[in-house]
Structure 1
Amino acid sequence: MKKKIQFSLVYRDMWQSSGKFQPRKDQLERVAPAIIDMGCFSRVETNGGAFEQVNLLAGENPNEAVRAFCKPFNEVGIKTHMLDRGLNALRMYPVPDDVRRLMYKVKHAQGVDIPRIFCGLNDVRNIIPSIKWALEAGMTPQATLCITTSPIHTVEYYSNIADQVIAAGATEICLKDMAGIGQPAMLGKLTKAIKDKHPDVIIQYHGHSGPGLSMASILEVCNNGADVIDTAIEPLSWGKVHPDIISVQSMLKNEGFEVADIDMNAYMRARTLTQEFIDDWLGYFINPGNKHMSSLLLGCGLPGGMMGSMMADLAGIHRSINSTLKSKGQPELTTDEMLVKLFDEVAYVWPRVGYPPLVTPFSQYVKNIALLNLLTMAQGKGRFVMMDDSMWGMILGKSGKIPGTIDQELVELAEKQGRQFTDADPHTLIPDALEGFKKEMQDNNWDFGQDDEELFELAMHPEQYRDYKSGMAKKRMLADLQKAKDAKLGAKLTPEEVSAFKHAKADAIVSPFKGQVFFDFEGSSECVPCLEPYIGQHYKEGETFCYIQTPWGQFEPVPAALGGKLVEIAARQGSRVNRGDVIAYIERDWINS
């Protein structure tokens, strides 16, 4: 018989890859005993990535949910693990060192054993500090290799990174195949290369099912020395999620590996409970498309969890492009033709921005560049003319070292726009912030929580935590749920009700001055005719949304509130507004990992 293979259940990731909400604390408590009784899992994913933000946005306390879900697994010796975005920790943008360091103390106290630390660029400078802090807190650091398929992402490339993070103290390596496009043969060779050099290091494979390669990849990594495989259960397995434990166990058992048996009565209880949660409320937020596999993902390399948001973004661009084509007397494009164009454009953009692995947030940036290129090319303006600061930040190296080479066209464009490339260590650019959050907690007379977990939550997710504390988050979630239920039941909402639901979960961009709206300008006085923002466009917190030309001729920037997706434009280019008028509404992001 071959070696023993352990299984992990990525229960919470199943939900994140399917929809935008997570099970409540009481639901996690109910399903945990059935997961334990299945008898086949040595590990369970209990936290990480966007999970805590999603809990807060639903008006739930994420710390209580993590403690409640970890407790039963801790008691029976099943290890718990979490997804950790390295420099970005549990959010989409960089986190100060003092907040990151606190995270490991809090999460260990809450019952999480293993942080799965990754950098979307595979920059070890974003991983190694977290390894050190995890060890200090008594956790087992699992360093992660973000897998993709490109000319530079070779076995040698990944093996070199593995050597560095293992030398820094990582006792485990995760092969994170977030889009499921890792080629099985390469993954097998990589697993063997790491195991041959570091035989005592645990290797865990995490592969999404989207393009259909995951089962072959699992077989390859196991035959070359992998130790733990991430799996899912019905009714959320397969699709853009993960392979089902039953199929994985059967395949490996037939191959001669030692694997645990599955208690099928317990599996069915967990399956029934999961379906109950779907029917109760979570199913209203599951994108039906995420239940299906798609070989198209192999061409663009985008993570399966992005398909829903990508199609929504594509719809807005599609309308704009067809409007332009129609005005030129040219044939309009079908949805399928647009999708192929988008995938082709991603394939064009990706090497030119240096082959960043397509994982959050860099998958979003590459996809957005491609979408905007399609729009501006249709308008005859060429490529790379509508990139925002987030997209440029990736290219310039502000989030870490790009693995490949930036195309000379983009280098020259950056110089023309006065943008500076950097090779600085990203985490050294962010000042500590914990003291300011401590003061905010004290000023509001908020409890710091057990093991400072509430302080950590505010520091990690300040906007969402404040809305949770005020009750606004719960109000928005209930409005969102009611809208989803009404839509499913076929209820006919009045335009006023549709607007109210839309605005209940969005931030109004309000004009601070009387004046005229412009969406771009050069210098201090000359306005530039430009395309208005499109519905679905994304903004970072504090990013400039537009400018108001005041009666005294000054151009005043108007920020995009807390950032997110543009859902409504109330004032067009050149419109005259009064102070306090709403210019637009921006809905905060529901973030995929």
Structure 2
Amino acid sequence: MATKKKIKFSLVYRDMWQSSGKFQPRKDQLERIAPVIIEMGCFSRVETNGGAFEQVNLMAGENPNDAVRAFCKPFNEAGIQTHMLDRGLNALRMYPVPDDVRELMYKVKKAQGVDIPRIFCGLNDTRNIIPSIKWAKAAGMIPQATLCITNSPVHTVEYYSNIADEVIAAGAEEICLKDMAGIGQPAMLGALTKAIKTKHPEIIIQYHGHSGPGLSMASILEVCNNGADIIDTAIEPLSWGKVHPDIISVQSMLKNEGFDVPEINMNAYMQARTLTQEFIDEWLGYFINPANKHMSSLLLGCGLPGGMMGSMMADLGGIQTMINKIRVQKGEPELTMDDMLVKLFNEVEYVWPRVGYPPLVTPFSQYTKNIALMNLLTIEQGKGRFVMMDDAMWGMILGKSGKIPGTVDPELVELAKKQNREFTDVDPHTLLENALDGFKKEMDENGWDYGKDNEELFELAMHPEQYRAFKSGQAKKQFLADLQKAKDAKLGSKMSAEELAAFKHAKADALVAPSAGQIFYEFNGEGECAPCLEPFIGQKYKEGQTFCYLMEKWGEIVPVPAALGGKLVEVSAKQGAKVRKGDVLAWIERDDK
């Protein structure tokens, strides 16, 4: 058999963690594993930054600029290219970023050692991609424009090929086929790769496919047989599941097919595997949802990406409780979590075409899922669909984040008209005012240094809430409280209910309901779904400070004080729970105990 073209591999080490759990390895851990990844000898590229990487560093009380520089340095020295995920209009966060902050990002990331930004728009709107291509090139980076792959009547080979033509004309030097949910059909992906390569033979094509529904290996073979150049892979113990195929399997398959592929230093692979497991055992495993280790063909129908399954299951649990209370009142059987999961997937399938087939990737996967989730609740309440939609969900539908690929359902068009909401085709980035001057003023007033290559200024401008919490030290305290909560939960799984209660409450006082009613909390945390918000374990309260609110059956809202104050160690009554007088709402540990 004649040897086919050379195929290169990329290790998406950042995304391996993102698709498995909440946090990323620390700077010292990244420094330890980088030389081992290099020693494996099979990777031409490594993903070193991207969505959620910097936020979670800040949340853990660690400076992400130090982590990015430390992780990139050994790869830069070894001649291995580094790349990052870039959400286009949203850059490195969930909501839009002003032009001057986006432009600064490429200068900072190039200085920190990142070679390639993978620029994507969740709607495939080129207006959100092309400015970033120009800023990346000006900073000396290699712009990789991205096609967000999904499977709908709108998303055809012609549709994607036209987008590729446009971004290549704008200066993109590479194209990434980002199959974020793994639902791209292999034959379509092969045809698309061939179409792009035939017209643009000089353009590098990199394929990124998650394993979730099980199509990714077939897709890798198809894209390679049609001209792809680089394949994203993972390593154990964070391969497969909702993550990515393992390098060993991908290399074996392509080698057997006759492609020129690099060999793997298996001793180094096993060492990298051992180190990654060590990071999991030490602390990261406490934030990994076990469900993300499993593949599921159910994802083919709803198209939801694997990376958001953990948060989705948490939200679903909160809605399940509320729905089952309604069903019990109606004399109907309660729904299991499996029942809820099928209902949610079916509802996403219903909602998705009606909101115009937005590719289900951050943030539009979250918006679409949230609409479906709220529909399940309001349908059960007898109120119908599309009753509980916030401005972010509406913003997607109305075109404020970019052009929707398909057609919005007439029902939603009419509903928008009734609510005096207007559709727009304006270029999304023109809706934002430049913001760097304001952040410079804040740093000057606080006496904060702009950092090397303005990296600290960038960090504040990109992640203002998390950066302020990092600088104040509150982020580190909250992270340690979250970690302790997770450790206690794991310990509790090995204890009887009585032992766990005694362990948790030995030093804590019970906070009880002063009367019967429904509980509501007002906390400062972030959450995708208001009914599912829960307070932060570890948060401290002063004596007499309001802990929550109780709405009594006749409608009066009564503040419930945190008694003598202290640290919150457990919440017994969830958001919206109905309680009786004397029911325990929470346990608060006094500082003097």
Q: TM-score range by the shorter chain?
A: 0.7 to 0.9
Alignment of 1:12-161 (within 5 A): 12-161=14-163
Aligned to 2:540: none
| 2:549 aligned with 1:571 | yes
Q: 2: distance between equivalents of 1:480 and 1:360? A: 24
1:430 to 429, 432, 437: 432
- The one-letter amino acid of 2:153's match is P
Question: Could you tell me whether the CA contact under 8 Å between 2:182 and 2:215 is conserved in 1?
Answer: yes
Q: 2: distance between equivalents of 1:88 and 1:246? A: 34
- Does the residue aligned with 2:319 lie in a helix, a strand or coil? helix
Question: Could you tell me whether the CA contact under 8 Å between 2:242 and 2:307 is conserved in 1?
Answer: yes
* Alignment CA distance shift 1:115-1:331 (3 Å): same
1:483 to 470, 482, 485: 485
- Does the residue aligned with 1:81 lie in a helix, a strand or coil? strand
Question: Which deviations, in whole Å up to 9, do the C-alpha atoms of 1:491-522 show, x marking residues without a partner?
Answer: 65659968999xxxxxxxxxxxxxxxxxxxxx
- The one-letter amino acid of 2:557's match is R
Q: 2: distance between equivalents of 1:480 and 1:286? A: 13
Q: 2: distance between equivalents of 1:409 and 1:320? A: 27
Aligned to 1:399: 401
Q: 2: distance between equivalents of 1:52 and 1:147? A: 25
Aligned to 2:273: 271
- Does the residue aligned with 2:10 lie in a helix, a strand or coil? strand
2:319 to 317, 320, 325: 317
* Alignment CA distance shift 1:312-1:238 (3 Å): same
Q: 2: distance between equivalents of 1:534 and 1:360? A: 27
Q: 2: distance between equivalents of 1:124 and 1:498? A: 55
Aligned to 1:8: 10
- The one-letter amino acid of 1:571's match is Y
Aligned to 2:582: none
Question: Could you tell me whether the CA contact under 8 Å between 2:25 and 2:279 is conserved in 1?
Answer: yes
* Alignment CA distance shift 1:176-1:499 (3 Å): farther
Question: Could you tell me whether the CA contact under 8 Å between 2:519 and 2:548 is conserved in 1?
Answer: no
Question: Could you tell me whether the CA contact under 8 Å between 1:5 and 1:258 is conserved in 2?
Answer: yes
Question: Could you tell me whether the CA contact under 8 Å between 1:390 and 1:540 is conserved in 2?
Answer: no
1:420 to 422, 436, 439: 422
Residue 205 of structure 1, CA deviation: 0.3
- The one-letter amino acid of 1:305's match is G
* Alignment CA distance shift 1:139-1:585 (3 Å): farther
* Alignment CA distance shift 1:498-1:440 (3 Å): farther
Aligned to 1:195: 197
Aligned to 2:513: none
* Alignment CA distance shift 1:127-1:499 (3 Å): farther
Aligned to 2:413: 411
TM-score (normalizing by structure 2): 0.86
Aligned to 1:523: none
Alignment of 1:423-502 (within 5 A): 423-490=425-492
- Does the residue aligned with 2:44 lie in a helix, a strand or coil? strand
Question: Could you tell me whether the CA contact under 8 Å between 2:355 and 2:408 is conserved in 1?
Answer: yes
Question: Which deviations, in whole Å up to 9, do the C-alpha atoms of 1:72-123 show, x marking residues without a partner?
Answer: 0000110000000000000000000000000000000000000000000000
Q: 2: distance between equivalents of 1:535 and 1:157? A: 45
- Does the residue aligned with 1:448 lie in a helix, a strand or coil? coil
* Alignment CA distance shift 1:370-1:532 (3 Å): farther
- Does the residue aligned with 1:367 lie in a helix, a strand or coil? helix
Cα RMSD for the two superposed structures: 2.7
Aligned to 2:224: 222
- The one-letter amino acid of 2:328's match is K
- Does the residue aligned with 2:481 lie in a helix, a strand or coil? helix
Question: Which deviations, in whole Å up to 9, do the C-alpha atoms of 1:535-562 show, x marking residues without a partner?
Answer: 9999789x9x89xxxxxxxxxxxxxxxx
Q: 1: distance between equivalents of 2:49 and 2:373? A: 32
* Alignment CA distance shift 1:70-1:351 (3 Å): same
Paired positions, count: 538
Question: Which deviations, in whole Å up to 9, do the C-alpha atoms of 1:344-384 show, x marking residues without a partner?
Answer: 11000000000000001100111111111111111111110
Aligned to 2:244: 242
Question: Could you tell me whether the CA contact under 8 Å between 2:87 and 2:93 is conserved in 1?
Answer: yes
Question: Could you tell me whether the CA contact under 8 Å between 2:550 and 2:560 is conserved in 1?
Answer: no
* Alignment CA distance shift 1:482-1:140 (3 Å): same
Alignment of 1:171-186 (within 5 A): 171-186=173-188
- The one-letter amino acid of 1:576's match is I
- Is the deviation greater in 91-100 or in 569-578? 569-578
Q: Which segments of 5 or more consecutive residues in structure 2 lack a partner in the other structure?
A: 509-517, 537-546, 564-572, 576-593
Q: 2: distance between equivalents of 1:269 and 1:183? A: 35
Q: 2: distance between equivalents of 1:315 and 1:58? A: 26
Residue 327 of structure 1, CA deviation: 1.4
Q: 1: distance between equivalents of 2:525 and 2:53? A: 20
- Does the residue aligned with 1:176 lie in a helix, a strand or coil? strand
* Alignment CA distance shift 1:495-1:454 (3 Å): farther
- Does the residue aligned with 1:41 lie in a helix, a strand or coil? coil
Question: Could you tell me whether the CA contact under 8 Å between 2:549 and 2:560 is conserved in 1?
Answer: no
Question: Could you tell me whether the CA contact under 8 Å between 1:312 and 1:536 is conserved in 2?
Answer: no
Aligned to 1:373: 375
Question: Could you tell me whether the CA contact under 8 Å between 1:289 and 1:308 is conserved in 2?
Answer: yes
* Alignment CA distance shift 1:425-1:565 (3 Å): farther
1:353 to 339, 346, 355: 355
Q: 2: distance between equivalents of 1:471 and 1:286? A: 25
Residue 484 of structure 1, CA deviation: 1.2
Residue 446 of structure 1, CA deviation: 0.8
Question: Could you tell me whether the CA contact under 8 Å between 2:121 and 2:128 is conserved in 1?
Answer: yes
Q: Which segments of 5 or more consecutive residues in structure 1 lack a partner in the other structure?
A: 502-530, 547-563, 587-593
Residue 335 of structure 1, CA deviation: 2.1
* Alignment CA distance shift 1:451-1:539 (3 Å): closer
- Is the deviation greater in 166-175 or in 273-282? 273-282
Question: Could you tell me whether the CA contact under 8 Å between 1:86 and 1:117 is conserved in 2?
Answer: yes
- The one-letter amino acid of 1:61's match is N
Q: 2: distance between equivalents of 1:236 and 1:328? A: 44
- Does the residue aligned with 2:258 lie in a helix, a strand or coil? coil
Residue 572 of structure 1, CA deviation: 4.2
Residue 318 of structure 1, CA deviation: 1.4
* Alignment CA distance shift 1:69-1:537 (3 Å): closer
* Alignment CA distance shift 1:148-1:500 (3 Å): farther
